[in-house]
Structure 1
Amino acid sequence: MPALALCLFFSGTVHAKTLGVVGKVYPIAERDALEEIEERAGQVDWQSALNEQRPENFRPPNLVPLPRAARERFFLVDMTYTLDFNIPDGQGGILYPRGFRFNPLDYVPFNQTLVVIDGEDPEQVDWLKASPWVGQPDTLILLSGGAFSEIGQKLGRAVFYAVRGLVERFQLKAVPCVIRRQGRMMEVREIEIPVK
């Protein structure tokens, strides 16, 4: 133990020594990284960049604008899906082969109501505010247009966007519409709002 303490004591008194330059030395060719970052940051219009990224300006790139429903209409959508590829079982076999058909409603309880509106149409927003669905916690409100933050504030609840995959899956053609489960199918009901 005293030998270790002695080594530690003497190691503090050892000084580094410059041994000189060995080999050819070249000047640094790269620009100073900090200078380059500062230069690029100075070229950005930060005010417009911040305005573009504001939540109220957000629109998903796959948003599908839908026209206003011209009449009352309802139809059923079969949710059956056909696999277009094999799903392996992880042991060299196939769990579900390509062509396998299944209905997700047979496996997943789906008791939500989906209400889709165009948030840019004030009459549709007013219709939804007066409807029984806006106050039900199991209702999911989706927008085919409009600002989700603004509509969410008006309705006092969270709203989401009806993106292309959802619109195509439920075969939506017009809004407002209400989507609910009917056994092994989904019922889509387009609602006509009288023009004021």
Structure 2
Amino acid sequence: MKKLTFCLLFLSSSVHAKDLGIQGTTFEIRERNLLEVIQTRLKGLETEGKLDDLQKDIQQRVSYKALNPTRLNSVHRTSEERSYLYDPTLIVEEDIKDHRGRIIHQKGTHINPLDMVSWGVPLVLLDGDDKEQIHWALKNHKDAKLVLIAGKPLDLSERHKKRFYFDQGGMLIKKFKIQQVPARISQKGKHLLIEEVLLEDKVQ
């Protein structure tokens, strides 16, 4: 409480600091523009003949990352089947207005996106390094979107002539609290149905 009171007093316009005058030599404070720093550095590399090498290095790293995404080790193959519903309802934290200032949704309003749009085709998450999971997904989910938590999406896309995605940063895994794969996300009424599938009990 004392610290809070001090901060409030410090920020208050009614509190004035005592002018102690100038003590010693003073210097103008000037922050270098970040863009200027970058441009100066690039010009230096160009002068030294190293700019091309830098560009090639960046291209190689980006290419390698695209071909070899980081595996999500927090997820393992399904050992015990599990399913649960996910409610996508959002609570508006502040009034949402249109371009004329008219309120569209008031603060506190509950909005379920599934009231306005459909989830669409199922989304299947799987381990791209597991041949059984790939075989199961291609055989049983021809119209689904296949999202990897491990493996090489570009290689698999070329091999099977079907587009594979990758859950970069584990966004989907974290959002839907998925612990095992293969997992399937589909719409059920106004909820999403999350199913962690046990392959041994399914038709391969």
Cα distance in structure 2, aligned partners of 1:86 and 1:103: 16
Aligned length: 158
Q: Per-residue deviation at 1:40?
A: 4.8
Structure 1: 5+ residue stretches without partners: 1-30
3-state SS of the aligned residue for 1:53? helix
Letter paired with 2:86: V
Counterpart selection for 2:149 from 144, 162, 167: 144
Pairing 1:67–2:73 present: no
Q: Per-residue deviation at 1:108?
A: 0.4
Counterpart selection for 1:132 from 132, 135, 140: 140
Written as runs of structure 1 = structure 2, the 5 A alignment for 1:34-53 is: 37-41=46-50, 44=53, 48-53=57-62
CA contact (8 A) 2:45 2:51 kept: no
CA contact (8 A) 1:66 1:118 kept: no
CA displacement 1:8-27 (0-9 Å, x = unmatched): xxxxxxxxxxxxxxxxxxxx
- Give RMSD over aligned pairs: 3.0
Pairing 1:187–2:197 present: no
CA change 1:68–1:88 in 2 (3 A) is same
The structure, 1 or 2, with the larger RCO (C-alpha pairs under 8 Å, 6+ apart) is 1
Structure number with bigger Rg:
1
Counterpart selection for 1:57 from 67, 71, 74: 67
Q: % of aligned pairs identical?
A: 22
CA change 1:48–1:143 in 2 (3 A) is same
Q: TM-score, normalised by structure 2?
A: 0.64
Q: TM-score, normalised by structure 1?
A: 0.66
Q: Which has the higher helix share?
A: 2
3-state SS of the aligned residue for 2:181? coil
Pairing 1:83–2:88 present: no
Letter paired with 1:160: Y
Structure 2: 5+ residue stretches without partners: 1-39
Q: Per-residue deviation at 1:116?
A: 0.6
Letter paired with 1:68: R
